[in-house]
Amino acid sequence: MLRHIALCVSVAALAACAPADRSTGPAASTVDAPRAAVSAKGGRAATTGTVYVSSQGLYYDTFVSQDPLPQEGPFQLLSDGLTEFGPGDPGYLGGRWWEDLNDNGIQDAGDHYFLCPLLPPGRPSP
């Protein structure tokens, strides 16, 4: 149910802040070149996606800062562009995400780890 809701609300985030092809696993992630953030008007990094923070009910713009990251240190679950914690929450880890690509519920070598900081302020609509 949660996955279904997440898929509905943030298809854009999935495309922008996640690998386009989830079926190939980590091997493809190492082949993909990191997407560079490009400055937009006003000097703010160009946004490339939106993440919905369920505990806040807010959407945040984000961009890919580093992809992939090595599986070292803490990561926060991101599932179909939805996560539980955002900026200001103790559980927010600065945009260090993991996606459970092999759907086994644990962080392992078969998953995707990357950095996509959320850019405040959040907003109530995508």
Which positions touch Ca ion (CB under 5 A)?
100, 102, 104, 108, 111
DSSP calls for 53-96: ETTTTEEEEE--SBSS--S-S--EE-BTTEES--TTSTT--TTE
Taking the complex as a whole, the smallest distance from the CB of residue 80 to Ca ion amounts, in Å, to 15
Taking the complex as a whole, the smallest distance from the CB of residue 21 to Ca ion amounts, in Å, to 17
Between 24 and 104, CB nearer to Ca ion: 104
| Residue 45 DSSP code | B
Between 80 and 111, CB nearer to Ca ion: 111
Taking the complex as a whole, the smallest distance from the CB of residue 108 to Ca ion amounts, in Å, to 5
Of 35, 21, 98, which is closest to residue 63 (Cα–Cα)? 35
